[in-house]
Amino acid sequence: MRSKTIVMILSVLVLAAFALGCTGNDSLKGSARPVEAVWINPAVKADVVSIPIEAVDKNTNVHFKVNTGASEVAVMAYRLGDELFIRSSVCPPCGSMGFALEGNILVCDACATRFDASTGMGVGGACIAYPKESIPYTVLDGNLTMSLSDIMTAYQETLEPN
């Protein structure tokens, strides 16, 4: 009887180890683990700012800074399902310029305020009154292209509580 129990326990352990070994890292892709932003450098030519779509596809969540002459403005670009979003990347009350993507939620790196990644609206936390404004973009030659004036407009609107 005792040897039968030991064999059964060993069988369960072997099956569990096999199942875990076969899942690999791909099983984590659908998880709600936060995707930290990767900082990239945009290309800037006059009033046109662009980043490669490949950078967003590879990293899911990227941030970049644009020099406006007077200051630097942080911008985020991320993929949510089949859609690409570009938003102002600032949390005015806490001063953060970074956001992780956790499922369909943006999470401020400094204060952990949560924003709906589809709309940019606050859903929980201290800074919810400062939605992340969208920046219009076009796709051109494998790049996401936006105007500096649209970036500045979104930045200014993000600084104002809703």
**105-132 pLDDT per residue, tens:** 999 999 999 999 999 999 999 999 999 9
Domain presence at residue 4: no
> What CATH code is carried by the domain that includes residue 82?
2.102.10.10
Tally of domains in the chain: 1
Amino acid at 162: N
Q: Got the DSSP string for 39-97?
A: E---EEETTEEEEEHHHHHHHSEEEEEEE-SS-EEEEEEEEETTEEEEEE--BTTTTB-
Domain that holds residue 88: 38-159
Pick from 162, 150, 143: nearest CA to 88 = 150
Q: Is residue 12 situated within a structural domain? A: no
Residue pLDDT, tens place only, 17-59? 444 444 333 333 444 589 999 999 999 999 999 999 999 999 9
Angle at 121 between CA 118 and CA 125, to 5 degrees: 120
Is residue 17 one of the residues assigned to a domain?
Answer: no
For 127, phi then psi, to 5°, come to: -110, 25
